[in-house]
Amino acid sequence: MKRIFREFYFKNAEKVEIPSRFDRREFGYTPFEGGMIRHLAFKEAGEIKALLVREVPRSAFYSVSYYLEPSFQMMEKGWIGGDLAFDIDADDLGLPCKMEHDIWACVNCGLREIGIKPEKCPRCGESKIDEQNWSCRKCVGGAKEETIKLLDILMQDFGLMKKEIRVYFSGSMGFHVAVESKMFEEIDQMGRNEIADYVAGLGLTPALLGIYPQSNFEELYRKLPTVGEGGWRRRIAQYFNKEEVEGYDGVEKNGREKIAYIYKTLGYSKFKKMLEDASRKIGVAIDTSVTTDVHRIFRLPETLHGETGFLKRRCDDLFRFDAFNDAVALGDEPIEIFVDISPRFTIRGQSFGPYRSERLKLPTMAAVYLIGRGVAKVP
Amino acid sequence: MASELGLYDLAKYPFLPEAGEYVRSHGLSVGALAQPDYHAILERATQRVMEAARGKDPSEEVDEKDILSFAVSILLVKATKLDHLLSRFALTEAIRVEKLLSKEKPWMIERIVEASTSIDVSQANLELAGRPLEFKVPVSEYLKRAPKFSSDKWRLLNQIVDGGYVFLTRPDLIRLFREEISKTIYARAKSVSVPKLPDALEKIVNEIVEATPTPKRLEYERGRKPEDYPPCIVHLLESQSKSENIPHFGRFFMATYLLNVGKTVDEVVEMHKTVPDFDERVARYQVEHIAGLRGGRTKYKVPTCRTVISHGMCYKHPIYCYNIRSPLQYPSKYSAKLLRGKRKEKAGKE
């Protein structure tokens, strides 16, 4: 795998996207031999590309933050600011296709199967079971929908411009979104926590809709949101407007009447609970810890993902982006491998698998995909 | 704009640069303060400082002599050499400003906020959710201030956010910037140097020192028993004992909490042994790192309740978790008994 990555970087290191203000960022990488090397800093973009060719990392990263001294230890770097970072991972969506491609493995007896992780190993009864998440076109499609929701919030609510937002396919399970904006770069961890919760819809209370436990119903109606408003009030009104509500026969289309009906039917406590559930569904399935953590490192764009061999790739046209085609960087040259277990998967229109304890020849892109996932090896 | 402010305005907001100019032009000397002509100003200045020292609600009565009484009160506070009194004084003065601003015209509110923060506040004149939203501030500026407030009301998600702005009611806008007004006053006072005071003033300074309580140090309870752990930690420990896979944040949170309540690195590592992918070498390295024994040698703080909520790991107790900001503030069974009545009453209103 290292030979293939070396060949790739030898030919393509020039195409690697070097982040802005790179001389203020920390860089790091994971070598094929294991471990993690961090706290690297570079004065020239060429040095970063040279590192990729020389060291051939399994994965390469850059910090979302900018520091006075990026090569120092974390507490001594001197944080100046950072991009806002969002990570959308298909695995968090809990889509039904998981059972077609996820793999679990018993820690005790080593039994490996495709499907949802059981409570206990059916062979030995062990409860310690590892799981490995795979992705398919449906998963990436789901993550794409979440990314579109995120872009709506960033532009409509936070007033960010398109040129301040960069969207990337992560190279594996979803999308990375990086926001570089003067307005937001100095927001600290607590502020980023608020942004993460806002985007994810965590902690919304009925007060945003003008509803309080002691609210008088008649007075309440005019405080409720409508689809014509902005921000989360619009989202809530749109959500309830589309929801099928048993017993509701109103005709009004602005969302308000339906919310009033639901509230009258459920009462405050149940409505509050229902609203919490709704806001989680409406919110974006981001990994909130990524957005909150100012010391996070992100995969370097246009480098290979060590677990798939796919590229982390810029998506200028998100709607048309096809991860299993546009992010595939490796070629068709056949490689002989031994596959322990693999679900069915498709790369560049070619379908592979499922495999079980098989020795076979696969195109480089598919072979690396399986070796990177840890389910195959070169015999 | 300066012409729009009369002396009465400067008396209400004596931290404004224009008020400073007025004091300088008055040519007030320390020696003169002991004279009968300045008796009323000295008395009012003493009252201002005493309000801060005793933690009293600041009065809203203002007259023109308050431009000078503010300057004199700074002298008195500085002469005590008590930094915690200086902080309390700045906060008390900011609370007074908050009260006075709540009755002002919108342009005055914009003016005062901009004078202490240089943030562009604009008028919105909107009404949504039954809230009269008079003002709007950029989202980024809101986020630099509001997350420090613990109440859910201040969470960004519970605000009206649109087009890059957060829309705020008058009291909320003023409250949002109170800290900065306080900081402005603190910085102003900090930069003042105090000459030798006449005996009469020294006597007042001594009275102020006596009236100022020593600040309490917040010390967290060490050696806390497992039955006194907060529900979030109890839940994580239960998941761990069932060998359920706990996300990285959950492990980090547990380790910081346990180390902070007095568990040793060995004990914390031992407690992690049931996790499915346990590797003692890695676990020990990580726990030692969190304990500040490795890497940057910084002991990590326990995440706040808000961060725990964000990670979906809060199992809030309706009474004991009321109004706490950190899992470390969760009361032990003993102190919970004392708190029960008080918090139950408040929590019921939530």
Q: What is the pLDDT of residues A306-343, one digit of tens each?
A: 999 999 999 999 999 999 999 999 999 999 999 999 99
Same domain, B74 and B195: yes
Give the pLDDT mean for B265-292.
81
The confidence score (pLDDT) of residue A302 equals 96
Q: Which residues of B touch A107 (CB under 8 A)?
A: 276-277
ipTM of the complex: 0.91
The answer, for A263 touching chain B at a CB cutoff of 8 Å, is no
Task: Judge whether B218 lies within some domain.
Answer: no
**Pick among 3.40.50.720, 3.20.20.60, 3.90.920.10, 3.30.1330.60: CATH of A2-88+155-200+286-325:** 3.90.920.10
Diameter over CA atoms, chain B:
80
The gap from C-alpha B13 to its chain's centroid, in whole angstroms, comes to 21
DSSP string for residues in B24-51? HHHT--TGGGGSGGGHHHHHHHHHHHHH
The confidence score (pLDDT) of residue A139 equals 93
Amino acid at A1: M
The gap from C-alpha A3 to its chain's centroid, in whole angstroms, comes to 29
Same domain, B241 and B321: yes
CB pairs below 8 Å between A and B: how many?
133
Chain B 153-172, residues with CB within 8 Å of chain A CB atoms: 153, 155-165
> What does each C-alpha distance from A79 to A2, A192, B298 come to in angstroms?
34, 15, 16
| Residue contact B157–A232, C-beta within 8 A | yes
CA distance linking residue A299 with residue A177, whole number of Å? 11
Selected residue with higher pLDDT from B12 and B339: B12
The confidence score (pLDDT) of residue B345 equals 47
The answer, for A74 touching chain B at a CB cutoff of 8 Å, is yes
| Residue contact B296–A186, C-beta within 8 A | no
Task: Judge whether B216 lies within some domain.
Answer: no
pLDDT at B216 over 80: no
The answer, for A227 touching chain B at a CB cutoff of 8 Å, is no
Same domain, B63 and B195: yes
Task: Judge whether B217 lies within some domain.
Answer: no
The answer, for B120 touching chain A at a CB cutoff of 8 Å, is no
The confidence score (pLDDT) of residue B147 equals 76
**How confident is residue B219, by pLDDT bands cut at 50, 70 and 90?**
very low
Selected residue with higher pLDDT from B285 and A231: A231
The confidence score (pLDDT) of residue B296 equals 62
The confidence score (pLDDT) of residue B34 equals 82
Give the pLDDT mean for A92-116.
91
Q: Are A331 and A103 in contact (CB under 8 A)?
A: no
Q: Where in chain A is the domain with CATH 3.90.920.10?
A: 2-88+155-200+286-325
Same domain, B144 and B230: no
| Residue contact A194–B147, C-beta within 8 A | yes
CA distance linking residue A69 with residue A115, whole number of Å? 46
| Residue contact A225–B129, C-beta within 8 A | yes
Q: Please name which of A126, A111, A106 lies closest in space to residue B242, comparing C-alpha atoms.
A: A126
CA distance linking residue A61 with residue A40, whole number of Å? 10
Q: Please name which of A58, A68, A19, A13 lies closest in space to residue A36, comparing C-alpha atoms.
A: A58
Same domain, B70 and B196: yes
CA distance linking residue B296 with residue B294, whole number of Å? 6
Alpha helices in B191-313 (DSSP H): 199-211, 231-241, 248-260, 265-271, 280-290, 305-310
Q: Please name which of B110, B33, B128, B18 lies closest in space to residue B67, comparing C-alpha atoms.
A: B18
The confidence score (pLDDT) of residue B346 equals 47
Owning domain of residue B133: 106-178
Percent of chain B with pLDDT over 90: 26
**How confident is residue B336, by pLDDT bands cut at 50, 70 and 90?**
low
Same domain, B80 and B67: yes
CATH of domain A330-379: 3.40.5.50
Task: Judge whether B221 lies within some domain.
Answer: no
Active site residues of A: 87, 89, 287
Same domain, B167 and B250: no
Q: Please name which of A192, A367, A204, A374 lies closest in space to residue A286, comparing C-alpha atoms.
A: A192
Q: What is the pLDDT of residues B9-49, one digit of tens each?
A: 999 999 888 888 888 888 878 888 888 888 899 999 999 99
pLDDT at B337 over 70: no
Count of domains forming chain B: 3
Most confident of A15-19, A75-79, A188-192, B126-130: A15-19
The confidence score (pLDDT) of residue A178 equals 97
Same domain, B156 and B261: no
**How confident is residue B117, by pLDDT bands cut at 50, 70 and 90?**
confident
Chain A 327-366, residues with CB within 8 Å of chain B CB atoms: none
| Residue contact B157–A207, C-beta within 8 A | no
The confidence score (pLDDT) of residue B333 equals 61
pLDDT at B61 over 90: no
Selected residue with higher pLDDT from B61 and A281: A281
Q: What is the pLDDT of residues A189-247, one digit of tens each?
A: 889 999 999 999 998 989 999 998 877 777 788 899 988 898 999 999 999 988 888 88
Same domain, B275 and B317: yes
Q: Please name which of A104, A168, A96, A177 lies closest in space to residue A136, comparing C-alpha atoms.
A: A96
Same domain, B187 and B76: yes
Instruction: Report the predicted TM-score, pTM, of the whole model to 2 decimal places.
Output: 0.79
Q: Where in chain A is the domain with CATH 3.40.5.50?
A: 330-379
CA distance linking residue A278 with residue A235, whole number of Å? 10
Same domain, B79 and B195: yes
pLDDT at B339 over 90: no
Selected residue with higher pLDDT from A365 and A353: A365
Last residue of a domain, one of B178, B202, B234: B178
The confidence score (pLDDT) of residue A221 equals 84
Beta partners for A82? Answer: A65
Same domain, B193 and B46: yes
Q: Please name which of A16, A29, A55, A4 lies closest in space to residue A297, comparing C-alpha atoms.
A: A29
Indicate the DSSP class of residue A155: I
